[in-house]
């Protein structure tokens, strides 16, 4: 039995984490916790896309990873960052 390359192992790990985060999002009742999980899911998705881009040598996927990071992770955290900065 041959071992999987590290890139493929990371992709499988990120897929499992995404599934667990999706189940956690289904169980949330509070919107603040749901937004935190949404940001975590976006981070894992961006990392997964970056690993796929590196392992398949497709540079346009880096752009997709950057957009996902900007829109799902950073943009979803802006309201809470604004509240912290006001204090």
pLDDT (tens digit per residue) in 1-43: 688 899 999 999 999 999 999 999 999 999 888 999 999 999 9
Q: Distance (Å, rounded) from C-alpha 2 to C-alpha 13?
A: 18
**Does a structural domain hold residue 1?**
no
* SS3 state of residue 77: helix
pLDDT at 84: 72
**Does a structural domain hold residue 67?**
yes
Containing structural domain, residue 38: 29-86
**Does a structural domain hold residue 13?**
no
pLDDT at 85: 72
**Does a structural domain hold residue 63?**
yes
Q: Distance (Å, rounded) from C-alpha 42 to C-alpha 74?
A: 9
Q: Is the dihedral of CA 70, 74, 78, 81 positive or negative?
A: negative
Q: What's the domain count of the chain?
A: 1
Whether 63 contacts 52, CB under 8 Å = no
Closest CA to 49 of 83, 85, 15: 15
């Amino acid at each position: 039995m041959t071992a999987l390359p590290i890139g493929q192992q990371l992709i499988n790990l990120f897929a499992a984490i995404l599934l667990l985060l999706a189940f956690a999002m289904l169980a949330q009742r509070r919107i603040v916790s749901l937004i935190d999980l949404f940001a975590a899911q976006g981070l894992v998705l961006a990392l997964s896309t970056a690993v796929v881009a590196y392992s398949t040598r497709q540079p346009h996927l880096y752009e997709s990873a950057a957009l996902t990071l900007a829109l799902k992770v950073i943009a979803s955290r802006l309201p809470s960052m604004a509240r912290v900065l006001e204090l």
